[in-house]
């Protein structure tokens, strides 16, 4: 005896000339399922004339006066987002850099609000977030970019070197995320991107404070994604490798940068614009179904 196969259940209908037409009940079930899916319109991705969907949105970028932060702010402004950015006031050059970025943003014909803000101080962070909301009319995007490094072998690392890095890189991101969460939850919309680092994934000598802060930022990203996801808030991270023209690589010995270039699959260092492009993707509607992810922008350094 050969194998026996069950035929799907069928129904009989009378067709032209009195012939019976066999109709699979499975086909009917499939149509019913498709009709049910079509009814759930609120989960369907929407087509936007502007693929980024950012025009008129309000974005906060921490550490936005130079390097990666500046590139991110300008890229979001190019897509029509209004920008609130903060910077660390450590003297005249930092204030002049902030004024320059503000001028560049205004040339993009978007509204901007900026001031010095110490991301390590929760009261200052709450005040800044409230000011951006009031001045620019909302908060839809947060990019936690502010970060510093104080490299030293861990047995020689001073308390203040550990605390400054962890409080800036990790505490600052937590304070800002906590401050924007009520606004984003109320409107049931938000995009948060944390700028972590490949050194939060792959460590190197002398980076105990920096690596710990950036690894912690990855944990914060995933936790926030879980806690805020039910309110349609996406939380992701970008992990840059060695990026040219940033403060964090300005003091890196040339031999380290040469080694990083050699270990990169693409054989080059990155540019702040490379990071800005990744952030733009993650805050756009193209990434509406991505959350809790860590996107390396390292030229293949982690491979």
Q: Which is it for strands 82-87 and 58-61: parallel, antiparallel or unpaired?
A: parallel
Q: Catalytic: 210?
A: yes
Token digits of residue 61: 């970028």
* Tokens 């200052």, located at residue: 124
Pick from 160, 75, 146, 154: nearest CA to 117:
146
- Cα–Cα distance between 162 and 30 in angstroms, integer? 60
Strand residues in the chain grouped as ranges (E): 10-14, 20-24, 58-61, 82-87, 112-116, 141-144, 190-195, 233-240, 294-297
Measured at the CA of 245, the angle between CA 53 and CA 156, to 5 degrees, comes to: 115
Pick from 42, 104, 39, 45: nearest CA to 69:
104
- Cα–Cα distance between 280 and 51 in angstroms, integer? 11
Catalytic residue among 113, 189, 210, 301: 210
Q: Identify the DSSP state of 7.
A: P
* Tokens 């839809």, located at residue: 140
Cα–Cα distances in angstroms (integers) from residue 153 to residues 74, 210, 258, in the given order: 36, 12, 21
Pick from 115, 124, 121: nearest CA to 85:
115
Main-chain phi, psi angles of 60, to 5 degrees = -105, 130
Measured at the CA of 162, the angle between CA 160 and CA 163, to 5 degrees, comes to: 65
Question: 290 Cβ partners below 8 Å, 6+ apart?
Answer: 234, 236, 282
Active centre residues (catalytic): 210
């Amino acid at each position: 005896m050969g194998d026996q196969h069950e035929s799907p259940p069928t129904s009989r209908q009378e067709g032209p000339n009195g012939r019976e037409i066999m109709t699979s009940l499975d086909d009917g079930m499939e149509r019913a399922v498709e009709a049910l899916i079509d009814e759930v319109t609120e989960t369907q991705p929407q087509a936007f004339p502007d693929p980024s969907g950012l025009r008129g949105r309000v974005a906060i970028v921490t550490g936005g006066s130079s390097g990666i932060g500046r590139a991110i702010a300008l890229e979001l402004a190019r897509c029509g987002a209004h920008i609130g950015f903060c910077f660390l006031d450590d003297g005249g050059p930092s204030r002049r850099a902030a004024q320059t970025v503000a001028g560049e943003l205004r040339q993009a014909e978007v509204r901007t609000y900026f001031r010095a803000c110490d991301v390590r101080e929760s009261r200052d962070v709450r005040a800044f977030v409230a000011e951006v909301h009031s001045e620019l009319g909302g908060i839809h995007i947060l990019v936690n970019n502010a970060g510093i490094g104080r490299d030293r072998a861990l047995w020689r690392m001073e308390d203040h070197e550990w605390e400054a890095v962890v409080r800036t890189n990790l505490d600052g991101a937590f304070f800002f995320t906590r401050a924007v969460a009520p606004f984003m939850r109320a409107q049931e919309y938000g995009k948060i991107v944390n700028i972590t680092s490949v050194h939060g994934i792959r460590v190197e000598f002398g980076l105990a404070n920096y690596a710990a802060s950036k690894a912690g930022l990855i944990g914060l990203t995933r936790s926030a994604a879980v806690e805020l996801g039910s309110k349609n808030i996406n939380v992701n991270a970008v992990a840059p490798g060695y990026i040219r023209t940033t403060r964090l690589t300005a003091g890196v010995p040339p031999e380290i940068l040469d080694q990083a270039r050699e270990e990169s699959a693409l054989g080059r260092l990155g540019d702040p614009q490379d990071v800005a492009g990744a952030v733009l993707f993650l805050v756009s509607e193209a990434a509406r179904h991505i959350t809790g992810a860590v996107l390396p922008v390292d030229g293949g350094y982690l491979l």
